[in-house]
Structure 1
Amino acid sequence: MDIRKNWGRLLSLLMIIVLVYWAVNNMLVLQNFLNAIISAFQPFIFGASFAFILNLPVKRIESWVMKWQKEYKKWFRPLAIVVSFMFVILILFFLVFLVIPDLERTVTSFIEVVPNQIARIIHWFDRFVDNNPKIIQFIQNLEIDLNSIQQDLIDYAQAFATNTLGNIVSFITGAVSSVVTMFIAIVFAFFLLTNKEKIIRQFKKIIYSVWSLKWANYFINVGQKANEIFSNFVGGAIIEAFILGMLVYLGMLLFNFPFKLSISVITGALALIPIYGAIIGGIIGFTLISVVHFKQAVWFIIFIVIIQQIEGNIIYPRVVGNKVGLPGIWVMVSVTVGGSFFGLIGMLVSVPLVSVVYSLISATVNYRLEAAGLNINTDSKNL
């Protein structure tokens, strides 16, 4: 029996090695295949993601209704789903009719102001050089054409701003052209939310019918752990982003910073990205404000640093806490690696995904140490 088991493990290892070797040498084919699969199932992937996010308020609304009713009624679920969808519609209304026009005005102002600001900086630099002959001589030795640099900077700034505006317009156009896909996704999300218990029960039956009891229990536990971590992370991150955006908007309103709505929404949205989101939001806000008033931009950096300290030390521990269960160094690693491979989506999903893997590895290691009779709570003296 042991010989058969060892041969089975060896064959499994060889198959894994062959599959990994083939995947490494056919990465382009594999990527095209995955892209085709994702494109075909895109409405259902969106719908499943949408249902997962909406499931958070649906459960909360159902629990609130249960406080007023002694027993569960069939109309609780449709009511919770409708209220959740209405909340999403209000957010979309806010984005379409308030944020996007304000963001367009912000980018338009940026395009109009940047050339003048660059010209002022170049003029100030020219005056500085005129008052310092040694610098003139040094620059002449370098054979630098200031007029060419000025024109290059203006062209670069205008191209950057124009491309940004073009990306926004392309995004809006793409969103409008994807109405059918979104409609299918919404219908699929509504179906998943309405029948989630039945669907979960069917998946469990399939798992227990295919794998042994030991492995089936393991897969079920992994799924429950992943659902717990992703739910805690997504729910806490959304609440935290909303609170941070409101704080930034109120602070900018109080201190009369320009581009209040655009910067506060961008900062709140980027707060969904751990660590780097706050830095990117501060850089974007500083860049937009600096072309209008540089001193205000400096004060904005001080303001956003204070807000981030409040968010990191007061809001985040209370809203998110340690629900993800991932040490800070691994958060940084997961966000960096996830962003380098999969861009923005990778940065958003990497933390809860790595947290699931981390918790599973930690539980497995602790289980094996306990089975060996070792105390897992005692630090090693060799470290």
Structure 2
Amino acid sequence: MKIKLNSNIAKRTISNIIVVSVGIILFFIIKNLGGIFNKVGEIIKLLMPFIYGFSIAYLLAIPLKFLEDKVLKFMDKKNQYKAKRFISITITYISAAILISIIFSILVPELSRSIYTLLENIPEYINALEEYINNIVIALNLNGDMVEDIVKDFNSISKYITSIAGTAVLDLFQFSANITQYILNIFIATIISIYLLAGKEKFFAQIKKFLYAMLPEKPVKYVIELTRSSHKTFIGFLGGKLLDSLIIGIICFVGMKIFKMPYPLLVSFIIGITNVVPVFGPFIGAVPSVIIIFIASPIKALWFILFILVLQQFDGNILGPKILGNSTGLTAFWVMFAILLGNGLFGVVGMILGVPTFAVIYSIIVSVINNALKEKGLPVEAKEYAAPENKIKF
């Protein structure tokens, strides 16, 4: 006897089985989340040379394309393609190596000297600061209990600063111990990046071939278009942010030199590097910078606070918008959300890459929503869904 199943019942049964299966899988994933993260961490650690290699190739693809399209355009004949690519890669990597060498030869000795001088002079600075506080106490004629409290607080701060200095030295030694592994990873990554750049068209063609074989044509075209727009977003944001941070670092150095503030190169380096982090970067860089200057000269630390506030206002309202424009298409709320989420998941790197990454995800979601609304014959503008009495401008 054959039993005929209603098509709706069959569909519902299959849906229930899928939901239950997904639920069981999610349960085991959540239950073993710690172990999964550890395994993922181990895999990522093994793949780090490839991740570095892809990153290097991604960055150097821009000057490589410029060389091939503009400088070596005369080598467009088919039989000259390999020679053209070889020359372009050679010039790109030699130029990058020279640029990095120049930067390191200028920055590293000065930074090392500044850090060494700072650590060497900390006891002297603390004694001078203690004498300065004692003079203030005498001038204000403070009572004994209050003086005792101030001394206790000052001693605590002194111990804390000394411990920070000690920790910094230990971290430096730890970094030196791991430097061999870093150099090895970068060396392997450089070789990988050369292979990627040498055959980048072939790699892209193979990926497209795989996608067209596995997926329908329409989704593949969407993925390709999405990849192009994502590339523009990343390059536009990261390139603009790096240029913005470089300019801010230079302005900070010049300003500190003019006002004769201590450790101008060290502080400007910190300000420039941390400025790469959107929104929170200026505050992250300002705190250690103020502490460093305060140890040497409390009065100049106050002037530095005023100077850095003016500098950040200039960056936030004039320089940043001029360079970056609206490269991400995100509102201030979503920028903040992306930074906090990126920091929670991947730390400082997540804070830097969180905004362009989230911008890509956001554009995908908006595109999907807009397409769904168009298919239903509904408007895509958010203001069309606001209450009539709503006076807020969109």
Q: Note whether the superposition's TM-score is higher than 0.5.
A: yes
AA of the residue aligned to 2:226: V
Distance 1:230 1:100 in 2: 29
Deviations 1:227-271 (A, max 9, x none): 232222222222222222222223223333322222222222212
TM-score if structure 2 supplies the norm length? 0.84
Structure 1 pair 354–61 and aligned structure 2 pair: CA distance change class (3 A): same
- Determine which of 112, 116, 128 is the counterpart of 1:108: 116
Deviations 1:273-323 (A, max 9, x none): 101111222223222222222222222222222222332233322322212
Structure 1 pair 200–6 and aligned structure 2 pair: CA distance change class (3 A): farther
Q: Give unpaired runs (5+ residues) of structure 2.
A: 1-6
Distance 1:49 1:184 in 2: 13
Q: Secondary structure at the match of 1:291?
A: helix
Structure 1 pair 282–149 and aligned structure 2 pair: CA distance change class (3 A): closer
Distance 2:142 2:228 in 1: 70
Structure 1 pair 83–8 and aligned structure 2 pair: CA distance change class (3 A): farther
- Determine which of 247, 255, 270 is the counterpart of 2:274: 270
Contact 1:270–1:278 (8 Å) recurs in 2: yes
Partner of 1:256: 260
Q: Which moved more, 1:89-98 or 1:297-306?
A: 89-98
Alignment of 1:102-181 (within 5 A): 102-126=110-134, 128-129=136-137, 135-137=143-145, 149-181=153-185
1:238 aligns to 2:246 (yes or no): no
Q: 1:208: Cα distance to partner?
A: 1.8
Q: Secondary structure at the match of 1:41?
A: helix
Structure 1 pair 289–94 and aligned structure 2 pair: CA distance change class (3 A): farther
Q: Which moved more, 1:33-42 or 1:62-71?
A: 62-71
Q: Which moved more, 1:88-97 or 1:354-363?
A: 88-97
Structure 1 pair 52–243 and aligned structure 2 pair: CA distance change class (3 A): same
Alignment of 1:193-208 (within 5 A): 193-208=197-212
Partner of 2:4: none
Q: Which has the larger radius of gyration?
A: 2
Q: CA RMSD in A?
A: 2.9
Q: 1:199: Cα distance to partner?
A: 0.3
Deviations 1:106-163 (A, max 9, x none): 22232233333334444444555567777434677xxx5x665544433321120122
Identity %: 26
AA of the residue aligned to 1:41: L
Q: Give unpaired runs (5+ residues) of structure 1.
A: none
- Determine which of 36, 39, 43 is the counterpart of 1:30: 36
Alignment of 1:359-374 (within 5 A): 359-374=363-378
Q: 1:354: Cα distance to partner?
A: 0.7
Partner of 2:346: 342
Structure 1 pair 23–119 and aligned structure 2 pair: CA distance change class (3 A): farther
- Determine which of 50, 54, 74 is the counterpart of 1:48: 54
Distance 1:150 1:181 in 2: 45
- Determine which of 363, 376, 379 is the counterpart of 2:380: 376
- Determine which of 96, 112, 117 is the counterpart of 1:88: 96
Distance 1:178 1:239 in 2: 26
Q: Which moved more, 1:281-290 or 1:148-157?
A: 148-157
Partner of 1:39: 45
